[in-house]
Amino acid sequence: MEVLDYHKLKIFKTVADTKSFSKAAELLFLSQPTVTLQIKKIENYLGITLFKRDKKGVFLTEEGKIFYEYASKILDDYSMMEEGLSNLKENLQKSLRIGASTTIGDFLIPDILPQFLKGKGDIKVNLFVGNSKEIEEGVLSKIFYVGLIEDEVHSNKYEQVEFFSDEIILIASRSSNIPDVIDVKELKRYRFVFREQGSGTRNIVERRLEKEGIKVKPDIEISSSKAIARLVANSDYLSFVSRLVVKNMLGVHLKHVKIRGISFTRKFYCITQKNIRLPKIDREFIQYLLGIEK
C-alpha cells in the first residue's frame, strides 16, 4: 500500500517550486524517471492530477495547490522535529547543507569551509553547486537552508545579506593583440564566451553594458567558469569572469583588459527562506560568513 511519506512530499514540493521535473531531479540527486514515478504514485494514491504542463513548464492544478499547502506544513514540521531531536542528542552527526552558485562554489567555498569546520567535530557537509537561479530554487524547496549567490534577489520570499565583495573583469589571452585598455564601444569588434542564462555573473555584466547602450551577443556559452578561462587562454575569444576565477592565471596565461570608465563590482549574497528557523549549524555558518575578510 502506498503512503505519502517524507520522500514523496519532498519530491513533490521541489517539482512545484522549480516548475520542472528535470531541475527537481538535479537538485535532489535523483534521476528524472524516479521523480516522475514518485509524482505519479502520489496522484494515483489520491486520485487527482497534481500538475498541468505547457510550453513554459509544469504548474500546479487547483488540487495540486491545496496539496502543496499541506505538504509544505508537514515538511516544515518534520524539519523542526529533526532539529529538536538533534539538539537533545548531541552525539548525533550534524549536517550542513549549502547551495552555492558556480563562482562561489568553485573558488570561494573551498577556502572558507575548512576554516569554519575546524573544531566543529563531526559535521556532514553537502554542497550543491549550480547557477544562481538553481540556488534560489533549492532554498525555496529546502534542499538546503543556506544559499550563496552572485546576484541580489528581488523577491519577498528570501532573507538576504551581503557577505563578500567581488570584481568581474574582462579577460583575454596573454598572447592576444587586444590593447590593455579599450573603449566600451570597441567590445563589438570581438568574439565572446559567456556563462549560461541564469548565471549571476552574466546577469550583472549584461545589465551594466545595457546602461552604456551596448549589447554583446556571446558566440559560445559554457556553464563552467574554469572551462571559460582555459578556452580564452587558448583562443582569441574574450570573456567576463570573477577575478577569483583567474587570480592564478593573470599574467601567466591571461591578461586583464580594462574598459575606460567602467568597472564591474558586485556583492555575493547569503540567502535563506523567510520565516523559518534555521538549524544551529546553519546559523553558525552564516555568522562565520559575515565575519570573513572581504
The residue from 69, 87, 105 where one domain ends is 87
The answer on 277 and 148 residing in a single domain is yes
- At 79, is the pLDDT very low, low, confident or very high (cuts 50, 70, 90)? confident
Residue that has been written with the C-alpha cell 569554519 in this structure: 116
Number of alpha carbons in the 13 Å side-chain half-sphere of residue 104: 31
262 DSSP 8-state letter: B
- At 1, is the pLDDT very low, low, confident or very high (cuts 50, 70, 90)? very low
pLDDT of residue 293: 62
- At 132, is the pLDDT very low, low, confident or very high (cuts 50, 70, 90)? confident
38: domain CATH number is 1.10.10.10
The answer on 110 and 98 residing in a single domain is yes
The answer on 20 and 107 residing in a single domain is no
Q: How far apart are CA 287 and CA 137, in angstroms?
A: 23
Q: How far apart are CA 162 and CA 147, in angstroms?
A: 12
Instruction: Retrieve residue 80's grid coordinates.
Output: 523542526
- At 85, is the pLDDT very low, low, confident or very high (cuts 50, 70, 90)? low
- At 91, is the pLDDT very low, low, confident or very high (cuts 50, 70, 90)? very low
Contact 170, 259 (CB under 8 A): yes
pTM of the entire structure? 0.63
Q: Look at residue 1 and tell me if it is in a domain.
A: no
The answer on 197 and 73 residing in a single domain is no
Contact 160, 153 (CB under 8 A): yes
Name which of 273, 272, 269, 282 is nearest 97 in CA terms. 282
Query: What's the rounded mean pLDDT across residues 114-125?
Result: 87
Concatenated DSSP letters of 80-121? HHHHHHHHH-TTSPEEEEEEEEHHHHHHTHHHHHHHHHTT--
Q: How far apart are CA 237 and CA 170, in angstroms?
A: 11
The answer on 152 and 170 residing in a single domain is no
- At 68, is the pLDDT very low, low, confident or very high (cuts 50, 70, 90)? very high
Name which of 259, 212, 269, 265 is nearest 238 in CA terms. 259
Report the range out of 117-131, 162-176, 277-291 with the highest average pLDDT.
Answer: 162-176
110: domain CATH number is 3.40.190.10
Contact 8, 48 (CB under 8 A): no
Instruction: Retrieve residue 289's grid coordinates.
Output: 560568513
Q: Look at residue 253 and tell me if it is in a domain.
A: yes
CA dihedral 77, 79, 80, 82 (to 10 degrees): 120
- At 29, is the pLDDT very low, low, confident or very high (cuts 50, 70, 90)? confident
pLDDT of residue 90: 47
The answer on 118 and 80 residing in a single domain is no
Q: Express each pLDDT in 30-54 by its tens digit.
A: 999 999 999 999 999 999 999 998 8
278 DSSP 8-state letter: P
Do the bridges between strand 158-173 and strand 264-273 make them parallel or antiparallel, or are there none, so unpaired?
antiparallel
What are the Cα distances from residue 189, in Å, to 201, 212, 236?
21, 16, 12
Rounded to an integer, what is the distance from CA 278 to the centroid of its chain? 19
Residue 270 has pLDDT above 90, yes or no: yes
The answer on 131 and 83 residing in a single domain is no
For 148, the domain range is 94-164+267-290
The answer on 196 and 244 residing in a single domain is yes
Residue 80 has pLDDT above 90, yes or no: no
Instruction: Retrieve residue 135's grid coordinates.
Output: 540556488
Query: What's the rounded mean pLDDT across residues 43-69?
Result: 91
Q: How many domains does the chain have?
A: 3
Q: Express each pLDDT in 180-208 by its tens digit.
A: 999 999 999 999 999 988 888 888 899 99
Instruction: Retrieve residue 177's grid coordinates.
Output: 593583440
The answer on 271 and 259 residing in a single domain is no
Contact 128, 100 (CB under 8 A): yes
